[in-house]
Amino acid sequence: MRLTTRDFDRTGRPLRFTELGFGSSPLGNLYRAISDEEAQALLERAWAGGIRYFDTAPLYGYGLAEERLGRFLAGHPRADYVLSTKVGRLLRPVEPGEARDGLGKFFEVPERKERFDYGYDGVMRSLEASLDRLGLDRVDVLYAHDLDLFTHGSQEALDARLAEFMAGGYRALVELRDQGVISAFGAGVNEWQPCQWLAERGEFDLFLLAGRYTLLEQEALETFLPLAEERGIGIVIGGPYNSGVLATGPKPGSFYDYRLAPQVVLDRVAQIHTICERWGVRMFEAAFQFPLRHPAVLSVIPGPQSVGEVMENRIAADAELPPGLWEDLKVAGLLRPDAPV
């Protein structure tokens, strides 16, 4: 089964992204543990469904996702897929008497601690460790991970990390790209504002933006996405369902932005859901398809937790939606008037 692809060539080393990609945080036992066999089944179904872009990170299961993904990809020709991972965190084994990181979030994962390091040496060491866990000799894309307020907690702390990165890690990524070790680099973050800050200060190829350009949120259209389009910067969209609420619908207990969805979000989702039903469209299909309408977007990468979710994402990727749906969402004030549809 072939998926629609989008070609990206900003550096002279072209990459072909499938419009549906694979976000691998569930392979790191995010929120619940899955077995190696379940992880393998997820990846086999994704590959059979035509997915050829895979994204991972050291954070996901403290190396477990990279290890599982690498074992699977080792059985496929390296030229047949695009692979990205992330830098900015270094992992180490716990000391005697120490508790591992990620308790209550990642389950049954290696006993490791994380340390932020956005410096030159930190980026180089992070890539080396990721390649070792993946068991591969290269990745295509590196993203500086979590340079955002959500992760670092205050503007002061974020500013310090951004300065550390631009003084060191950015230089390392430029060298890796110029030497052909990687084909492209950027940042993978939870907010569009750091993406714009970085794009205005460096030569970035790609940004992975999680949860900030969706049916629920389009503020990135104000300045960041026009800047990306103008400069030929590619955008990968993570979290298209805003942590689940755009897939599950406005049900009590639905998640938004990694937390229980507040009532104001549930009310807005209910409005979107009603309009989708009126057009005979399942809301998760509209949520997946919407970001792809923007010309800068290369791929949308949900993080499926089951084979069933892989299959639903595949259905969403193929869905043909009526143009009137988008117009009704705009008339209702649920989509910005300038949102490309």
Catalytic (active-site) positions: 55, 60, 86
C-alpha neighbours within 13 Å on the C-beta side of residue 173:
31
Q: Contact at 8 Å (CB) between 299 and 53?
A: yes
Q: Contact at 8 Å (CB) between 22 and 76?
A: no
Q: Contact at 8 Å (CB) between 250 and 273?
A: yes
Per-position DSSP letters for 118-135, written without gaps between them: -SHHHHHHHHHHHHHHHT
Strands 112-116 and 206-210: unpaired
Phi first, then psi: what are they for 299, rounded to 5°? Answer: -160, 150
| Separation of CA 14 from chain center | 20
Q: Considering Cα of 255, then 257, then 259, then 263, what sign does the dihedral take? A: negative
